[in-house]
Structure 1
């Protein structure tokens, strides 16, 4: 497939303007960059200057080359003056091989296909209860009342959080990741970390069959994890296990509401559900960017990247690359093949990918099994963020069809 060459006047490129993702059209910028400047030197704003990669093949190559493009210094852009990410070198997301493989080895089996199959009955039960409660209410925010609860309850259970505490953590997570006030978000995040500090202390004294117990009892090279590593990885698993799936599931429902024929296709032919979930993941591409840092000088498409340069991977752009995806701006639940990069690639392929796919599938199946109609009950509001993209609020009405 050949790329569409865009010779139009270039748009003003500013990929770090949060308002672009709430009220603008980032795809217009990414489309122009793919055609004209796929390895783009982005000028400094409140963020230091960085390289922006927008083509699928380049982004996949960077994911594959962990030796040249490091995760240890951070995986998200940080405003100038904020310094290095405090989790650098300590968490699954912010480590390079071999440390990354060693950390991943502690938790991998919890997210393997066999393990996820073992908890599928519990997932269906949770999805059913969440959807049933939403149906009783009739008018709900699909993000908060449905999509947020299923993955959060599941990761809480896997981490050994007692069920009476799930709602507390749900409230804190909404304050930490959905509030408009920076101070409220900060204190809520600290409260989450404080909760897991207490849980880790309890699990150290009385380990169970859960992820927090794995971290507090696990060893790498004969040494236990430090307290900092334990808490940061608890936070990493909690956020990764809840937030990205929440946004993808809600973003997928927004796509279905905007393309109702595709929802009817899945309802009429349930064999399409696996490919529909993959198309939801491609379409939503919830991680807006991923950061890597060059460890040595390297050339990409004739542009010289120096050691220490930040390199950003814009996943929604990769997943709309005309050279890889036929008719990329069409939402198609039957799309085959669909080798999207929404869950990463290579060393840092999402450890929870199997779990996320099943959670999204069970949610949509619950709605279809109950023959529930979903329709807009107000205007959706998109997230004002350069980190993740998708709906912040999605008011809907649920009715028996």
Structure 2
């Protein structure tokens, strides 16, 4: 590792599509683990790159607040509209109250109860991809399974699943920012209508729970219901989509690891954990210090933004043996890809099951998957992984 400092450009989206962020994270872990980034169009912020520092900050929710936003955004955009209102952007006690409304839906028992339907969804998606022969694994496989599952849980009629698939593909994909914005507004509009319908005639689904819930004796406002629906849709689809596709890209790049799981299906659970560690699809999570703190000898002031670089934590050589090796047999595997502490990912169990069912479906049916062109990586500091992954799929 060179002792001379590389150019630190962690806020440059092209670093993640065209460059090598791991070289910068590696240098920072060794030489400047709490690094100050001067303000640009983004506010100034502290970068945390070591596993232990990030884990400790996750745990200290009283100091490091989520309510002022959890992602870097240009200062001119103002505060995040979900601040203090959604599961992801609230602190105690509001966070615990909101999480308590929907926690049971993502518990082990509830997820297992859905496994048969989830397996049917995975089977149907793989069937269609096999019929196509050549497809984009991101959009034709990885994107559909988590979207269809969360739509089922939210009470979205199956007749609307394709509509939401098209909207989410435009809203969270690449392309023109205005197109993404209008698609996102259409998603909010869809949930505005759905939450009103569920408030009037509730069913056994997540949107009905939110539309009829009370917190501190008061019903959630329609706007809060809509924002939380949007939060659940994004949280339930985007990172799993990218992890599933990024995991497949990793298996294509490491065919011996795919063969190992094919030879020993008992490795499937540990391979899912390694996919989550290796892909680390949430590139960063942000917190705001609400009081002064010290991290690794650096003074963080009240109001400072503190950014956790999760892929760096998951390659920390003081925690993981051979961290730059993709190893489906890795154990233990205490990665931070799904967060830690009060804000541990609500859908973590769901994501694990979806990945296990998808890869299990491909393996059990002996599907041969080959690259069919150059993958394109996302140009983003928020999530990282394939934007496109052209493959050929054939049942053997």
TM range (shorter): over 0.9
- Which residue in 2 is equivalent to 1:161? 156
Aligned counterparts of 1:362 and 1:107: Cα–Cα separation in 2: 23
Aligned counterparts of 2:75 and 2:91: Cα–Cα separation in 1: 24
Which blocks of at least 5 consecutive residues in structure 2 are unaligned? Answer: none
- Which residue in 1 is equivalent to 2:322? 327
Aligned counterparts of 1:44 and 1:330: Cα–Cα separation in 2: 35
Aligned counterparts of 2:386 and 2:244: Cα–Cα separation in 1: 10
- Which residue in 2 is equivalent to 1:3? none
- Which residue in 1 is equivalent to 2:30? 35
Cα deviation, residue 80, structure 1? 2.2
Aligned counterparts of 1:188 and 1:327: Cα–Cα separation in 2: 42
The answer to whether 1:179 aligns with 2:174 is: yes
The answer to whether 1:250 aligns with 2:250 is: no
The answer to whether 1:25 aligns with 2:20 is: yes
**What are the superposed Cα offsets for residues 86-130 of structure 1, whole Å, 9 maximum, x if unpaired?**
100000000001110000000000000000010100000000000
Cα deviation, residue 7, structure 1? 4.4
The answer to whether 1:111 aligns with 2:106 is: yes
The answer to whether 1:71 aligns with 2:34 is: no
**What's the C-alpha RMSD, in Å, of the aligned pairs?**
0.7
The answer to whether 1:318 aligns with 2:313 is: yes
- Which residue in 1 is equivalent to 2:369? 374
Could you tell me which of 220, 223, 232 is aligned with 1:225?
220
Aligned counterparts of 1:181 and 1:227: Cα–Cα separation in 2: 29
Once the two structures are superposed, the pairs formed by residues 128-167 of structure 1 within 5 Å of their partners are 128-167=123-162
Could you tell me which of 257, 272, 281 is aligned with 1:262?
257
Could you tell me which of 72, 92, 96 is aligned with 1:101?
96
The answer to whether 1:193 aligns with 2:185 is: no
- Which residue in 1 is equivalent to 2:335? 340
- Which residue in 2 is equivalent to 1:283? 278
Aligned counterparts of 1:7 and 1:122: Cα–Cα separation in 2: 51
Could you tell me which of 185, 189, 210 is aligned with 1:215?
210
- Which residue in 1 is equivalent to 2:5? 10
Cα deviation, residue 400, structure 1? 2.6
The answer to whether 1:124 aligns with 2:150 is: no
**What are the superposed Cα offsets for residues 131-188 of structure 1, whole Å, 9 maximum, x if unpaired?**
0110011100000000000000000010000000000000000000113101100000
**What are the superposed Cα offsets for residues 255-295 of structure 1, whole Å, 9 maximum, x if unpaired?**
00000000000000011000000000000000000000001
Which blocks of at least 5 consecutive residues in structure 1 are unaligned? Answer: 1-5
- Which residue in 2 is equivalent to 1:236? 231
Aligned counterparts of 2:209 and 2:44: Cα–Cα separation in 1: 39
- Which residue in 1 is equivalent to 2:290? 295
| TM-score normalised per structure 2 | 0.99
- Which residue in 2 is equivalent to 1:86? 81
Aligned counterparts of 2:137 and 2:109: Cα–Cα separation in 1: 30
Aligned counterparts of 1:361 and 1:315: Cα–Cα separation in 2: 22
**What are the superposed Cα offsets for residues 189-227 of structure 1, whole Å, 9 maximum, x if unpaired?**
000000000000100110000000000111111111111
Cα deviation, residue 349, structure 1? 0.3
**Over 3 Å off, 4+ runs:** none
Aligned pairs, number = 396
3-state SS of paired residue (1:90): coil
Cα deviation, residue 82, structure 1? 1.3
3-state SS of paired residue (1:13): coil
Aligned counterparts of 2:2 and 2:22: Cα–Cα separation in 1: 16
- Which residue in 2 is equivalent to 1:305? 300
- Which residue in 2 is equivalent to 1:170? 165
The answer to whether 1:48 aligns with 2:43 is: yes
3-state SS of paired residue (2:92): coil
